Structure 1
């Protein structure tokens, strides 16, 4: 990870007028975690297949778990395009969503959005992140962008409204 990026990230807080740009996988992963840690009530995620390099590690798992358990009104919604990889190999967030199903939902994107090839994080009413291509870790992280968060939230809600539950991600009770 570049030292300049790491130093800037350590000084950035949700609500600060800071925009950071990642160039590498480690930078994107740390920036996503840094944005989610202070979340108090909401996290919306769009990701092709919950990229393990960013979303399937113990620190991110713990941050999402803390958010989900913080309040009865806390909500985490995740939209993915493909569940094959995470069903086959497992994923911490899928397991967490099965345990905390009243706070964490994972849906498949609807047919109209199957070609959407960006990854997003929307954190509370303040921050959002975008990786413009899911096969690249170049991204932008906005720590205080309430207007853009409202716009992205409307887009996310439109996608969520036509999304579908994936039976492969449900917990099996035997």
Structure 2
């Protein structure tokens, strides 16, 4: 796979390792905003140590940072301790988790939008295949509109809240 943050055209990813590599590079290149809609195919990629550390750096790098995570089907995460979810539970002032309601969990695409410029989209509901667009603000804004539509229907799940004392 090419350098996933260089300016250019659509890049394809065809397996979990390429998704992880591309997503980590996009997050590392982001400074303030991350919007993530994830289903089961992405979850192992987003548990990668480098990916989680890159998300943490975005959150800690700016007092105005915002990370929104929209889970398409959270059943597999409720019992397992996913590192990205654990990070979100610790850094609640900058990270928010929502879950699509059951009647909308038929959504099949996964999205990641970084700083409204980098984006990737997984289309196949069963596989880690899709496209990435580095430094493509128009494409990112189009996908961000799709994300916003899903985000407003998302609900806060009590399984992903923690009261820190």
TM-score norm. by structure 1 comes to 0.87
Give CA deviations for 1:61-92 in whole Å, capped at 9, x if unaligned. 10000001111110110111222211211111
Given the alignment, which residue of 107, 110, 115 partners 2:106?
115
Partner residue, 1:131: 122
Q: Which runs of structure 2 are paired with 1:153-164 in the superposition (5 Å)?
A: 153-164=144-155
Please say if 1:142 is aligned against 2:159: no
Partner residue, 1:13: 5
Number of positions where the alignment pairs a residue of Structure 1 with one of Structure 2 = 165
What SS does structure 1 have at the residue aligned with 2:44?
helix
Q: Which runs of structure 2 are paired with 1:1-174 in the superposition (5 Å)?
A: 5=1, 8-9=2-3, 12-13=4-5, 16-49=7-40, 51-111=42-102, 113-172=104-163
Unaligned runs of at least 5 residues, structure 2: none
- The alpha-carbon deviation at position 172 of structure 1 amounts to 4.5
TM-score norm. by structure 2 comes to 0.91
Unaligned runs of at least 5 residues, structure 1: none
What SS does structure 1 have at the residue aligned with 2:53?
helix
Q: Please list every run of at least 4 consecutive aligned residues from structure 1 whose deviation after the TM superposition is greater than 6 angstroms.
A: none
**Cα RMSD for the two superposed structures:** 1.8
Q: Is the 8 A contact 2:11 2:131 kept in 1?
A: yes
- Max radius of gyration: which structure? 1
